[in-house]
Amino acid sequence: MKKQDAPIRTKRVYEAPDASDGARVLVDRLWPRGLRKVNAALTFWLKEIAPSPGLREWFGHDSARYREFARRYRAELEGNEDEVARLEFLVKQGPVTLLYAAHIKGTTMLWSWRNTCAITWNAAWKAPL
């Protein structure tokens, strides 16, 4: 597998770590309830890469607002070069698992990440959201 094709996976942070996870990156702004840091087995916690509180509140998981949410979120990412560069570096090194706490599988933020990462880094997504 070429490094530019390193798989990116998503899963809930509460799921047990697995050797195939590669770098485990929490992409939520808030620490997950009831989870001890040692049990999370994180490589990084990139809380600043998550959508801003204002954007999350505006979106409110309203699917009719998804396109505008994705546009605004991409604009936020463009202004967050350091955190995006950290994630880009990890993707180029090997497998990455983006971790989230939400009960809803395939949260909208991760859909936006899927589009951004796949376009920017030519990353291969191993699991559908």
Q: Residues 12-42: pLDDT tens digits?
A: 899 999 999 999 999 888 999 999 988 899 9
Give residue 45's pLDDT. 93
* Overall domain count for the chain: 1
pTM: 0.76
Angle separating helix axes 81-93 and 108-121, nearest 10 degrees: 70
CA dist 114 and 32 (Å) reads 22
3-state secondary structure 46-63: CHHHCCCHHHHHHHCCCH
Secondary structure class of 8 (helix, strand, coil): strand
**Residues in a beta bridge with 25:** 44, 98
Give residue 104's pLDDT. 65
Enclosing domain of residue 103: 3-125
Give residue 111's pLDDT. 57
CA dist 107 and 121 (Å) reads 21
For the stretch 65-102, pLDDT in tens is 888 888 888 888 888 888 888 888 888 889 999 898 87
